[in-house]
Amino acid sequence: MKKVTILLPAYNEEASFPVLEQCMKRVLEENPGYEWEFLMVNDGSTDHTLQQMARLHREDAEHWNYIDLSRNYGKELAMMAGFDYVKGDALIIMDFDMQHPVDVIPEMLHWWEEGYDDVYATRQGSKESWMKRKTSQWYYNLLQMFTRVPIQKDTGDFRLLDRSCIDALKQMREVERNTKGMYSWIGFRKKGIFYQQQERQAGVSKWSYRALLNLALNGIMSYTTAPLRMASVLGLVVSLCAFLYLIYIIIVTNLYGDPVAGYPTIMVTMLFLGGAQLICIGVIGEYLARVFNESKRRPGYFVSSYNGERGRVEELKS
Ligand code: UDP
Ligand code: MG
């Protein structure tokens, strides 16, 4: 029988457990043709999430496994940890708050059996605020402008990945991660399906606008070097304008003499050039910071324990 893992990253999700358990029970009942593993990743929660995970593993060790990370690393790295410990032939990534409905799992499995390696679920009729929807839409359009690799709109981490995709993703060890970009980058046979996003059942959202901005910037910077190119183009355009202006000044001075005014023009040019330079340096700095972080070659995460075991955690990797 094929084994399928559901990966569930969690940060302070103790309130979500009743709903989660119900949903996973449904998965077991409705998909008896597969062996199931529910792999939870505790991303440094400060509430009783870890104790709840330990309880589930105690009650049903056949299905529930959990990784306890050494601190809060963020969802991207929590998923990276998950990829390393997945036992299944396929992996379905879901949010712990069950905003991703389990009803679409049979459809995902169907397309996987048809030979697709990455069955991604696209949000339909999102219940997020207008602001959040619009900003994410602009962001996707911006990102797509920069790259040849097609990016799926309104699509997050909710998807089924075949073992071949998991093995590919496991080799991508960068720490400044944007996993959404990686799914596209690795290629393989992709199939899109639709789902209705659910309301969060319990607990609160962990994403502040600051964290989202960070993720968005990371998405662009870790995915494309287009901003560096834009900095060069901006420099070129500014130099060209300056050159044309120079010719204009020479001609005008020769024709009408030099009345020694020009303070406003000098100020404007200086401020404009200064601003353009600062922007370009900032862009280079952003990339340099990423090179700096990656060049330390630190592991993305540390694991405190796997299923409560503290030693030989490394050996338990798939
Ligand atoms: N999450 C995580 N680490 C974090 C923040 C969030 O593992 O630092 C998990 C969280 O437990 C949930 C998923 O990422 O399973 C999505 O988070 P959330 O539901 O808060 O985000 P939203 O749905 O509001 O975008
Ligand atoms: Mg959520």
Domain ranges of the chain: 3-208+299-306, 226-295
Q: Which two tokens stand for residue 19?
A: 């709903």
54, 66 contact by CB (below 8 A): yes
pLDDT mean values, one per 10 residues, the chain (318 residues): 95 92 93 94 94 93 94 93 94 93 93 94 78 81 79 86 95 86 90 84 76 78 77 82 84 80 77 82 84 86 88 70
83 to 29, 89, 155, 176: CA distances (angstroms): 25, 12, 19, 16
Closest ligand 1 atom, CA of 8?
15
Task: Supply the DSSP symbol for 12.
Answer: S
Structure-token match 């605020």, residue found: 129
pLDDT score of 234: 84
Closest Cα to atom 4 of ligand 1: 74
Residue 107 burial by CB count (10 A; 0-12/13-18/19+): exposed, middle or buried? middle
pLDDT in tens, 136-191: 788 888 878 877 777 777 788 999 999 999 999 999 988 888 888 889 889 899 99
From edge to edge, which strands make up the β-sheet containing 155-162? 190-196, 118-124, 155-162, 90-93, 3-10, 35-42, 64-69, 303-306
Say how far residue 308 (Cα) sits from the centre of its chain.
28
CA of 286 to the centre of ligand 1 (A): 25
Structure-token match 């023009």, residue found: 265
Percent share of the chain, pLDDT over 90 = 44
190 to 56, 108, 116, 143, 171: CA distances (angstroms): 33, 11, 6, 19, 20
pLDDT score of 80: 95
Closest Cα to atom 8 of ligand 1: 74
Cα–Cα distance, 238 to 25 (Å, whole number): 62
Q: Which two tokens stand for residue 193?
A: 């399906």
CA of 94 to the centre of ligand 1 (A): 10
pLDDT in tens, 11-34: 999 999 999 999 999 999 999 999
97, 36 contact by CB (below 8 A): no
pLDDT score of 281: 87
Closest Cα to atom 9 of ligand 1: 10
pLDDT score of 127: 66
pLDDT score of 152: 79
Closest Cα to atom 21 of ligand 1: 205
CA of 195 to the centre of ligand 1 (A): 18
120, 83 contact by CB (below 8 A): no
**Backbone φ, ψ for residue 306 (5° rounding):** -120, 120
For 3-208+299-306, give the CATH class: alpha beta
CA of 202 to the centre of ligand 2 (A): 9
For 65, other C-beta atoms within 10 Å of its C-beta total: 21
**Backbone φ, ψ for residue 233 (5° rounding):** -65, -45
